[in-house]
């Protein structure tokens, strides 16, 4: 009977037969070389991704989020497709964060109402306009061309957005005290309340009433930035020439207009914008 020779795992003397188990030297060298090159490329790619993230306008959160959502399963068989998709997602993330940065740190925000900003944020979340020099210039030219109309509309939007349950809020005009409910959260401004944008609207209105250009205010100089900084320091009040501001543990922000002429002129603008749609307010009945 023919017997098949089987290489024993343990030799008779209890030692491994290294002559039979040695791997092909050429294949092993090639495998180890590819490993070193692959790890070096991965390290280099991560360094480049980190560098790309650092170039994003707002810390690259949108960019890193898009990377996490990528489908990498096609990388081995369709690398060009994966690369094209990743670059497109990176461009979209950069464009969205870039427009947000411009809104916060340029004069763009000064000629936009809170409702305008809310609509733009919706567009940036789904289909941001490419951030090109031509688009930026065209947007600024359009906004500045409509700044007087936007100013009047901002006054009316601010007046209509006030919570009606507060006695200091008239149904048809602005009073001395304005209340922005749930303006703050623990981390800062409450993004769901649009309170920060309303404060920016009010500051822009007062600047224009005083003959000042609100577009010259930097991000750090805005009242909304100052209120947030003071609240984080544990303070609860801030007063300027035009406004007295107080905030409370429930997150509400109360604003008092210090200049009576500002109240009168704001109400005149509201009447001019709304015309006869604002009826005369009847006095409250008392029990």
Taking only the tens place, the pLDDT of each residue in 166-207 is: 444 455 567 788 888 899 988 789 888 888 888 988 888 888
Taking only the tens place, the pLDDT of each residue in 223-270 is: 999 999 999 999 999 999 999 999 999 999 999 999 999 988 888 877
Helix-then-strand count for the chain, H and E: 10, 6
Taking only the tens place, the pLDDT of each residue in 83-101 is: 888 888 888 888 888 888 8
Provide the b/e sequence for 260-285 (b: ≥16 CB within 10 Å).
eebeebbbebbeebeeeebeeeeeee
Mean pLDDT of the chain: 77
- Give the whole-angstrom CA distance, residue 91 versus residue 86: 9
Residue 118: alpha-carbon gap to chain centroid: 11
């Amino acid at each position: 009977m023919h017997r098949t020779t089987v290489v024993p795992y343990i030799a008779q003397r209890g030692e491994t037969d290294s002559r039979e188990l040695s791997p092909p030297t050429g294949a092993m060298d090639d495998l180890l070389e590819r490993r070193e090159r692959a790890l070096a490329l991965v390290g280099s790619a991560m360094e480049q991704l980190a560098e790309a993230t650092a170039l994003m306008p707002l810390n690259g959160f949108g960019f890193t989020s898009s990377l996490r959502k990528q489908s990498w399963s096609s990388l081995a068989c369709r690398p060009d497709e994966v690369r094209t998709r990743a670059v497109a997602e990176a461009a979209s993330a950069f464009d969205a964060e870039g427009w947000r940065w411009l809104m916060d740190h340029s004069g763009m925000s000064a000629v936009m109402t809170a409702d305008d900003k809310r609509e733009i944020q919706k567009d940036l979340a789904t289909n941001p306009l490419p951030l090109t020099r031509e688009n930026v210039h065209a947007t600024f030219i359009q906004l500045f061309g409509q700044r007087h109309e936007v100013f009047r509309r901002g006054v009316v939007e601010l007046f209509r957005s006030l919570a009606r349950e507060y006695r200091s809020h008239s149904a048809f005009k602005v009073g001395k005290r304005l209340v922005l409910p749930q303006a703050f959260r623990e981390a800062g401004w409450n993004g769901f309340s649009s309170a920060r944008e309303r404060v920016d609207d009010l500051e822009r209105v007062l600047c224009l009433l005083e003959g000042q250009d609100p577009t010259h205010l930097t991000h750090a100089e805005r009242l909304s930035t100052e209120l947030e900084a003071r609240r984080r320091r544990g303070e609860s009040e801030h007063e300027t020439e035009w406004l007295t501001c107080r905030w409370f543990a429930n997150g509400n922000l109360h604003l008092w207009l210090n200049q009576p002429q500002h109240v009168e002129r704001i109400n005149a603008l509201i009447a001019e914008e709304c015309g006869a749609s604002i009826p005369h307010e009847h006095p409250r009945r008392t029990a």
